[in-house]
Structure 1
């Protein structure tokens, strides 16, 4: 098991709300400063605009810092997954996290399975694993069914219990269902807070150990250390009203979460 960060750990700092968005290279340095060994470039559109030469340079920088890279994208169309396989090979990546649906493309269960079957032989030859992330748009049982029917050693699950709470899936039940198939873990805590006037709730992020995630139970079920599964830290930090406060708190949450994971895995 290795501990890593995601672009989602720096979400606001590279967003359009930043006057000078944080670069990937700076995210890598911040990852090294926290002594994490993996960085997942996840749902980061600027990456796809980089040339092959620029991607090789990114690998060189990461390698010089002693950081292994992972990728994250959305969609299962073969052309798109082939593009990410090419990027993976240039970056020395062995895992690509994806989701079945995108904003404009929602293939059904059978179609998604067929699309994955078409491209998986290429991933198998390249020894790159596809990790389907749990999230509210697709029932966890559907993802597990696809993984089990295909039966490829290069297809598994990226577990993220927080994502499925919105679909009324129990985090504990989700973890039990996906545990045998997990190849990657997104680590973030979450909590409900009441709206003003006690009308409804918001589901937002929380520092690890301060929300509803049963982290210890999740680790006991999935056994990332024993199985060599990377834990990738991200979070759902709400905008704090101004950039300075939000960016500072984002870094504080990330540092806290790194310490928390380490304390729970010693």
Structure 2
């Protein structure tokens, strides 16, 4: 398993709250400097407006840094997935992550299967795998039904068990169910903390190894189920905004990312 970093690990540093948001080139350089081998450009809207020359520059920068690129988007409409397949060709990408729902399209299982049966063969012909992420808007069982019904080695699951907790699905159950179909893993830890006055909980991210994610168990389950198949581990965070402002938040975001990469390096 190769390990790397997602744009979500730079969430605050590329946000509108950043005085000077990091560029894609800066994120690639930082990933390489931290020891990552993969960079997932995930839900990063600017890349959709890049022309072929700009995409070629991104590809060349990544290759020069020794990084493999992956892409991430949302939705399963045919035209949208075709656009990302075209981008994948320009960026030398073989893994695209998506989700079933967007803000204006929420297909049920039947519609999702119909749409993906049109798109996935094109992905397969291009040697690109499409991964659907586990998350709270879609039951894991429904997501797995979609993958099974389409029935292609080029359609699988992006495993992120922390997302499904909001659907009252236990991470261990999500891992067990999704492991045989997993093509990519998002690595982020998470924990519950009591709110002031003990009135409820906050569910948020924490440094890898300090929360509820059984990272070792998840990796063991995927390795047992998938054998020698290459399944990359991609670092993400749920880092809350810090009361001390942007500089404190950015420093902590960097610390969490470095810690996660170092943890993955030690686990190899």
TM-score of the superposed pair, with normalisation by structure 1: 0.98
Give the secondary-structure state (helix, strand or coil) at the position aligned to 1:184. Answer: strand
Structure 1 segments of 4+ aligned residues over 4 angstroms from their partners = none
Return the offset for 1:78: 0.4
Aligned length: 265
Aligned counterpart, 1:118: 118
Return the offset for 1:192: 0.4
Give me the whole-angstrom Cα distance separating, in 1, the residues matched to 2:70 and 2:89: 11
Of 215, 239, 260, 1:237 maps to: 239
Aligned counterpart, 1:4: 4
2:262 is the counterpart of 1:259: yes
Is the contact made by 2:109 and 2:145 (CA closer than 8 Å) also made in structure 1?
no
Give me the whole-angstrom Cα distance separating, in 1, the residues matched to 2:105 and 2:251: 36
Return the offset for 1:225: 7.9
Give me the whole-angstrom Cα distance separating, in 2, the residues matched to 1:220 and 1:230: 14
Aligned counterpart, 2:27: 27
Aligned counterpart, 1:222: 222
Of 232, 246, 250, 1:247 maps to: 250
Return the offset for 1:150: 1.2
Give me the whole-angstrom Cα distance separating, in 2, the residues matched to 1:227 and 1:54: 31
Alignment of 1:1-266 (within 5 A): 1-223=1-223, 226-241=228-243, 242-265=245-268
Give me the whole-angstrom Cα distance separating, in 2, the residues matched to 1:35 and 1:259: 8
Return the offset for 1:264: 2.3
Give me the whole-angstrom Cα distance separating, in 2, the residues matched to 1:52 and 1:143: 33
Bigger Cα displacement from structure 2, 220-229 vs 164-173: 220-229
Give the secondary-structure state (helix, strand or coil) at the position aligned to 1:253. Answer: helix
- What stretches of structure 1 of length at least 5 have no aligned partner? none
TM-score of the superposed pair, with normalisation by structure 2: 0.97
Return the offset for 1:109: 1.1
Give the secondary-structure state (helix, strand or coil) at the position aligned to 1:239. Answer: coil
Give me the whole-angstrom Cα distance separating, in 1, the residues matched to 2:32 and 2:220: 27
Give the secondary-structure state (helix, strand or coil) at the position aligned to 1:97. Answer: strand
Is the contact made by 2:35 and 2:261 (CA closer than 8 Å) also made in structure 1?
no
- Deviation track 1:195-227 (CA, whole Å, cap 9, x = no partner) reads 111111111001010000011111111117843
- What stretches of structure 2 of length at least 5 have no aligned partner? none
Give the secondary-structure state (helix, strand or coil) at the position aligned to 1:130. Answer: strand
RMSD, matched Cα: 1.0
Give the secondary-structure state (helix, strand or coil) at the position aligned to 1:235. Answer: coil
Return the offset for 1:104: 1.7
Give me the whole-angstrom Cα distance separating, in 1, the residues matched to 2:56 and 2:166: 39
